[in-house]
Chain A
Amino acid sequence: MNSNSENNKKIASCEFQDNLNILRQIDFFSTLPLELNKILAYLCTRDTYKEEEYLFHENDDDGQAYYIISGKARLFYNQAGKQRMIRDYEAGAFFGRLALLGNMPRIFSMKAINELTCLTLTREKFTKALSQFPDQMPKIIKAVAESIQGWEKRFLLHGSENCEACMHNIGVSLV
């Protein structure tokens, strides 16, 4: 018994276990069974980006989702040749869900604005793992739908009234 608890302590500090803890806190994964989350935690990788390095560029189909472990990343939109800053993402942010589901060339660019460590999961790995648990797909679809719905609600709650042009194009949750 003694040696067993010792083992657990050692394992607790390993990267796989940390990844698993992170995944289980993300809405997208939290409802999935532990067995699947273990596989995903094993499959995802940690990447570091230096300041000014890009996570992805506009039109890239990098095909992965990111969770920021530490550091800060900034989102840009290319408007008529000019880079326009949209917002910053900080530790604890998870983005790129849709890229896990299908080809999704990026509409935006994202770069690190200081030393950034991310947990990333590629579409290929996600799809392969999920194909072992076909009955979990509905949960994933539900999570995506909810996150789109949630996004639009938040958008309408905060500040959209200042932007008359935006009001004509709202309704992404109706796609």
Chain B
Amino acid sequence: MEKTKPPVVKRSLISWVWTSSLKLQVILILIIMIEVFARVIPLEMQKRIINEAINLRKIDLLFMYCGIYLAAVIAAGMLKYLNNIIQTIIGQRALADIRKALYHYILTLPLNFFRKTQPGMVVSSLITELTTSGNFVGMAVSVPITNVLTLLAFAGYLIWLHPLLALVSLSIYPIVIFLVPILQKRSNKANKKRVDAGRNLSSKIAESITGIHEIQGNGAFDLENQKYDRLIDRLLKIRIVWTLYAQGVKTLNNFFTNLSPFLIFILGGYLAMKGQLELGALVAFLSAQEKLYTPWKELIQFYQVYQDASVRYKRTMEYYDTLPDHEIAPKDRKPYDLEANLEVRNLSFVTDSGINLLDDINFTLKPGEHLALVGFSGSGKSTLALCIGQLYKYTGGHIQIGGKEVSELSKKDLVQNMGFVSQSPFIFEGTIKDNLLYACSARNDENGSGQDAADSMPTLDDMIAVLHQTGIFVDVLRFGLNTILTPDQDKDLVSSLLRVRQNFQRDFGEGLTDYVEFFDENKYLYYSNLAENLTFGAPNRDEFAVTNLPQNEYFLRFLDHAQLTRPLMSLGVQLARQTVDILGNLPPEEVFFEKSPVTPDELDEYKLLVERLNKVKLHELPASDRAKLLELALRFIPATHKMVSLPEILESLILEGRALFKDKISVEDPNAFTFYQISQYIFSQTILNNIFFGKVKTVNPQAQEKINQSIIQLLIEEDFLETIVEIGMEFQVGTKGDRLSGGQRQKLAIARALLKAPNMLIMDEATSALDNNSQARIQNLLDSRWKGKSTLIAVVHRLDIIKNYDKVAVMKAGKIGEFGTYDELIAKKGMLYELEFGKQ
């Protein structure tokens, strides 16, 4: 079934009507039949009520006909509602199907395609342009059938009532049928233009958002605004024309259908006067004629929706009507397990515009051999790697892996055998673990789920090993240590952590006093915020959370009592003034705000507050402003927010306040806080701070290193390391991995390729964002663990790491200039020598 289907881009809009919900469509048709019947009944009843019941004064007939009338109206209404429900379901299902199918298809398109296609355009195709198609599919069966049947039924009824009158009043419709398509054609033309213009617009928006750094950096606002405004103006014109034509169709239709009653009055009135038509029949005729209007209008609307949807649908599908370069899955076999020897013969790659990116490349690699591709940028080394990895389709010659031609292999074959680390690897939103398992899960999904797949998934030990090897282990451990546990989490974990804390204090407490500020009841904590300093405990209820304290009546009363309100207010004022002064005009970037007590979102609010402060005295400010200032003061961390210093006198006031608060609240509300005690786990703090029973003071890398070593040693002794790393692997990396550094992203990408343990590995400048040590570490790993096991093709930018490669290929202008071992090539004093030591 799957394989005989044409690709989604070749399917017609109509075809979705049948594939989406055939059963529902059949039910729908049945409902429509009854509904139409139910709609005609009131007409006949109307006539009978007048002619039989009222004229003959038969009260029982009046009741009966009215009863039937009522029942028919109710039935028609309910059926109409049911009809709508089914229509909606069919339409939305079809829309979902089209969206899925198109997205699935787009992902398989060649990389080349995406060079010319902006993400914004794909988004607008999938989200906006296809909605009308869904609406259309929903309507496609029910609307024409209902309305045509209704029309026929009413028309038949009219003819049955009075053939001549009926023909005259119906004579209008052929005129409309003739005129509407002419207008519609023009509307379609405008609509096509509108789709294209909308597409350009979304590409433009996507472009400026992606390039916002460049725009702001160059102050190119006017330039970009002009470009954008031009597109909008063009779209405006097209939309006006389009809307006018669409309106024109409606107006035309309205005009002609309104002519109908006029004809009936003239002719019907004349006939009635002459006694050739009963009054009841005229009334029935008039109302039946009036009822023609609704189905007719709906048919015209349907026609418009159909036209609009098919224009958008065709335009969208046409755009994506490119074939994927390679088959996705093999048809009638399992994916190959390939021998990892590589043979490249007479390989060439010519772009569409005729540029020779690769020219007559020849070389072979035995399984397990490592090849470094070097050369200036633009020499074609990345292109070669991408061709071998099937990401580009080469235009001539051969690449054979295990004797099979790469261009004839399906994606699944390749994925089964090859790992790929790209120049700027992409990290997806989710946890570290999700990203680590990305390559493995993708491969296993391809092989079908179930027991087999579960078996071939890496174990926790595998994952930890690869984290170690790629040098991201400590980072993940850090993420784990920076996690805040919730009280309902594993009890054992918490009690073990308390044990770790004790051992830490015993073994390392002394040695780390320079680096850690321990929670000491008698000292001010410069690395904790003011609220923590005052309460010296973890709140057990939300109302005492730092963010809620400025509104907490109890806490405010306490501040008054401890005579802290005024000094804190004045601290808040200083913080607000200084922060606004320094950061007032800066964009909301992490780097600017990491040492600010005000978040980027709040900056504008505080700017206004500072302006108000310049006009009125502190005590004249409204309560909400005072709360804002207090909040700022409570957030104040002396070691971080350096724009203001903590006055000595306030420090001692707070220390006194701390004792006072403890005394007061332990009597009045004993369960509100858990005070920092060496015997208690603190749920408001990270695991690391809990182990330390304090906070790290420094960001100095050497100090960090010392701290890490102590912690790792301790965790190993306690057999706790894996648990923390496992928690760390649950760290959310943010969209595009933006909560990781460039180096971390690259290490994670290498780790996920290695975890898959492929026969063949392609690394396209995979270590370019790493510092020397990390790069050397990865290189050692490749040399010691992967040489002889996996064939490696590495595009290398820095030459200091290529000495241990089995082969080096020096590329120049799309050709291999030199090929051999490092020593051979250096001895030859040719191109590699020149690259490494410069021209002699």
CA distance A128 to B699 in the complex (A): 20
Contact with B along A22-60 (1 / 0, CB 8 A): 000000000000010011001101011110011000011
Q: Does A102 contact B (CB under 8 A)?
A: no
B585 close to A132 (CB less than 8 A):
yes
- If A7-B574, A10-B645 touch, whether A134 touches B217 (CB-CB below 8 Å) is yes
CB A147 to nearest CB in B, in angstroms, measures 25
Contact with B along A98-141 (1 / 0, CB 8 A): 00000001000000000000000000110011011010000000
CB B507 to nearest CB in A, in angstroms, measures 21
**Which residues of A come within 8 Å of B, CB atoms?**
7, 10-11, 13-16, 19, 35, 38-39, 42-43, 45, 47-50, 53-54, 59-61, 105, 124-125, 128-129, 131-132, 134
B642 close to A61 (CB less than 8 A):
no
Tell me which residues across on chain B come within 8 A of A105, comparing CB atoms.
772
CA distance A19 to B219 in the complex (A): 29
- If A39-B586, A47-B700, A131-B216 touch, whether A125 touches B578 (CB-CB below 8 Å) is no
A42 close to B642 (CB less than 8 A):
yes
A132 close to B643 (CB less than 8 A):
no
For this complex, 5 residue pairs linking A to B, each with C-beta atoms less than 8 Å apart, are: A10-B645, A11-B578, A15-B645, A53-B702, A129-B592
The 5 A-B pairs of least Cβ separation, nearest first, read A14-B645, A15-B642, A16-B643, A16-B642, A42-B582
Q: Does B735 contact A (CB under 8 A)?
A: no
Option from A10, A47, A129 in Cβ contact (under 8 Å) with B574? A10
CA distance A60 to B586 in the complex (A): 31
CB A149 to nearest CB in B, in angstroms, measures 26
CA distance A47 to B583 in the complex (A): 23
B700 close to A14 (CB less than 8 A):
no
A42 close to B595 (CB less than 8 A):
yes
Option from B578, B582, B645, B771 in Cβ contact (under 8 Å) with A39? B582
Tell me which residues across on chain B come within 8 A of A43, comparing CB atoms.
591-592, 595
Which of A105, A125, A128 has most chain B Cβ within 10 Å?
A128
CB B775 to nearest CB in A, in angstroms, measures 10
A14 close to B772 (CB less than 8 A):
no
A60 close to B591 (CB less than 8 A):
no
Contact with A along B581-609 (1 / 0, CB 8 A): 11101110101100100000000000000
* Chain A residue with the shortest CB-CB distance to B579: A42
Of residues 314 to 353 in B, which have CB atoms within 8 Å of A's CB atoms?
none
CA distance A38 to B647 in the complex (A): 22
CB B100 to nearest CB in A, in angstroms, measures 41
Apart from A15-B642, A43-B591, A60-B772, what 6 extra A-B contacts exist at CB < 8 Å?
A16-B582, A42-B582, A42-B595, A132-B585, A134-B217, A134-B218
Tell me which residues across on chain A come within 8 A of B644, comparing CB atoms.
10-11, 14, 16
Task: Give the number of residues in B that approach A within 8 Å (Cβ atoms).
Answer: 30
Tell me which residues across on chain A come within 8 A of B698, comparing CB atoms.
47-48
* Chain A residue with the shortest CB-CB distance to B595: A42
A49 close to B700 (CB less than 8 A):
yes
- If A61-B771, A128-B589, A132-B586 touch, whether A16 touches B578 (CB-CB below 8 Å) is yes
B771 close to A128 (CB less than 8 A):
no
CA distance A35 to B580 in the complex (A): 12
A45 close to B699 (CB less than 8 A):
yes
Tell me which residues across on chain B come within 8 A of A132, comparing CB atoms.
585-587
A-B contacts counted at CB < 8 A amount to 71
CA distance A59 to B798 in the complex (A): 13
Tell me which residues across on chain B come within 8 A of A7, comparing CB atoms.
574, 577
Which of A42, A49, A50, A125 has most chain B Cβ within 10 Å?
A42
Tell me which residues across on chain A come within 8 A of B702, comparing CB atoms.
49, 53-54
* Chain A residue with the shortest CB-CB distance to B577: A7
CB B263 to nearest CB in A, in angstroms, measures 74
CB B50 to nearest CB in A, in angstroms, measures 83
Which of B574, B591, B647 has most chain A Cβ within 10 Å?
B591
CB B306 to nearest CB in A, in angstroms, measures 52
Tell me which residues across on chain B come within 8 A of A39, comparing CB atoms.
582-583, 586, 592
Contact with A along B655-682 (1 / 0, CB 8 A): 0000000000000000000000000000
CB A126 to nearest CB in B, in angstroms, measures 10
B591 close to A128 (CB less than 8 A):
yes
Tell me which residues across on chain B come within 8 A of A42, comparing CB atoms.
582-583, 595, 642-643
CB A161 to nearest CB in B, in angstroms, measures 29
CB B549 to nearest CB in A, in angstroms, measures 24
Tell me which residues across on chain A come within 8 A of B581, comparing CB atoms.
38
CA distance A61 to B771 in the complex (A): 7
CA distance A65 to B614 in the complex (A): 38
A38 close to B772 (CB less than 8 A):
no
Tell me which residues across on chain B come within 8 A of A16, comparing CB atoms.
578, 582, 642-644
CA distance A14 to B771 in the complex (A): 35
Contact with A along B399-423 (1 / 0, CB 8 A): 0000000000000000000000000
CA distance A160 to B589 in the complex (A): 48
A14 close to B217 (CB less than 8 A):
no
A14 close to B642 (CB less than 8 A):
yes
* Chain A residue with the shortest CB-CB distance to B643: A16
Tell me which residues across on chain B come within 8 A of A125, comparing CB atoms.
591
CA distance A19 to B642 in the complex (A): 10
CA distance A43 to B593 in the complex (A): 9
* Chain A residue with the shortest CB-CB distance to B699: A45
CA distance A168 to B644 in the complex (A): 53
B647 close to A10 (CB less than 8 A):
yes
A14 close to B647 (CB less than 8 A):
no
* Chain A residue with the shortest CB-CB distance to B800: A59
* Chain A residue with the shortest CB-CB distance to B645: A14
CA distance A39 to B219 in the complex (A): 19
CB A99 to nearest CB in B, in angstroms, measures 14
B582 close to A59 (CB less than 8 A):
no
CB A72 to nearest CB in B, in angstroms, measures 18
CA distance A128 to B218 in the complex (A): 13
Tell me which residues across on chain B come within 8 A of A19, comparing CB atoms.
642
A38 close to B217 (CB less than 8 A):
no
- If A10-B645, A39-B586, A47-B700 touch, whether A124 touches B591 (CB-CB below 8 Å) is yes
B645 close to A13 (CB less than 8 A):
yes
CA distance A50 to B513 in the complex (A): 14
* Chain A residue with the shortest CB-CB distance to B219: A134
Which of A53, A60, A132 has most chain B Cβ within 10 Å?
A132
CB A140 to nearest CB in B, in angstroms, measures 15
CA distance A105 to B770 in the complex (A): 12
B582 close to A11 (CB less than 8 A):
no
CB B593 to nearest CB in A, in angstroms, measures 11
CA distance A50 to B772 in the complex (A): 24
Tell me which residues across on chain B come within 8 A of A11, comparing CB atoms.
574, 578, 643-645
CA distance A16 to B583 in the complex (A): 13
Option from B514, B589, B643, B699 in Cβ contact (under 8 Å) with A14? B643
CB B667 to nearest CB in A, in angstroms, measures 36
A59 close to B643 (CB less than 8 A):
no
Contact with A along B286-330 (1 / 0, CB 8 A): 000000000000000000000000000000000000000000000
